Amino acid sequence: MECILFDLDNTLYSPHCDLFGLIDKRINSYMHEVVGIPLEDVDTLRRRYWQTYGVTMQGLMRHHQVDPEDYLYYVHDVDVASRLQVEPELRQALISLPQAKVVFTNSCRSHTDRVLEALGVADLFEQVFDIRVADYMPKPYVQPYHRVLENLGLTGSQCIMVEDSVANLKPAKDLGMTTILVGNATPGSFVDRQLDEVVQLPAALADWTVAGSRVAGQPAVAGE
């Protein structure tokens, strides 16, 4: 395996940090105050757009002529440092992984940079692929996965994808990636391994063989 694609939100940090709670409020206020959607319709529309398009933003672009850059700036204008802190254990875990590490997120670059800085791991990622990588088409649409692989010059079978969203791992597996679910969501058959937290990744990869090849590039142990 040559590269690990990490989702950002609720994967590199715990959902218990509730950073998304801040973004969630900003999405609602954007829909009401900027787009002019009546408050009583906001929840229903958000749910519908999220279920139909994977992210609320796609529904707002298609049905309300929202400028995606305006939306991304507004909803990610939150105090990241109030919810996240430097995580030395995460840093050690990432350093111990020999593969190239990239972020593949449905959020935007500036939010990603703020999160990685707050966690103290910004220098450990070679690239960030955000919602712009395939013209604002989010995971789990296949387009951004193809774009990421093209950009990296890799095939799916050379990559591991680490995610808290089960749905986002399905296209990854279809493209031949090794799939690792972080958190307690119910996995599908396309999930190769499930971890409670991302810091468990090095131990999981070090002792694991997929399709006869070492995932972590470490020597095989007797009995495998």
User: How near is the Cβ of 10 to Mg ion at its closest, in Å?
Assistant: 4
User: Residues 4, 7, 84, 182: which binds Mg ion (CB under 5 A)?
Assistant: 7
Q: Should residue 10 be labelled a site residue for Mg ion when binding is judged by CB under 5 A? A: yes
Q: Tell me phi and psi for residue 92, to 5 degrees.
A: -60, -45
Residues whose CB falls within 8 Å of the CB of residue 146, separated by 6 or more in sequence, listed in order: 134, 175
Stretch that binds Mg ion, among 69-77, 107-115, 164-172, 195-203 (CB under 5 A): 164-172
Q: Should residue 130 be labelled a site residue for Mg ion when binding is judged by CB under 5 A? A: no
User: How near is the Cβ of 8 to Mg ion at its closest, in Å?
Assistant: 6
Q: Should residue 9 be labelled a site residue for Mg ion when binding is judged by CB under 5 A? A: yes
Give the residue with the Cβ less far from Mg ion, 19 or 37: 19
One-letter amino acid at 125 equals F
Give the residue with the Cβ less far from Mg ion, 9 or 130: 9
Give the residue with the Cβ less far from Mg ion, 10 or 178: 10
Q: Should residue 192 be labelled a site residue for Mg ion when binding is judged by CB under 5 A? A: no
Stretch that binds Mg ion, among 4-12, 58-66, 107-115, 133-141 (CB under 5 A): 4-12
* Dist CA 33 CA 27 (whole Å): 10
Please identify which residue in the block is written with the tokens 């395939």: 134
The answer to whether the beta carbons of residues 171 and 14 sit under 8 Å apart is no
The answer to whether the beta carbons of residues 7 and 148 sit under 8 Å apart is no
Please identify which residue in the block is written with the tokens 């800085």: 117
User: How near is the Cβ of 9 to Mg ion at its closest, in Å?
Assistant: 4
Q: Should residue 164 be labelled a site residue for Mg ion when binding is judged by CB under 5 A? A: yes
User: How near is the Cβ of 36 to Mg ion at its closest, in Å?
Assistant: 29
One DSSP character per residue, 167-204 reads: HHHHHHHHTT-EEEEESSSPP-TT--EEESSGGGHHHH
The conformational region for residue 120 under phi > 0 = left, psi -120 to 50 = alpha, else beta, is: left
Stretch that binds Mg ion, among 140-148, 162-170, 175-183, 208-216 (CB under 5 A): 162-170
User: Where along the sequence are the contacts to Mg ion (CB under 5 A)?
Assistant: 7, 9-11, 164
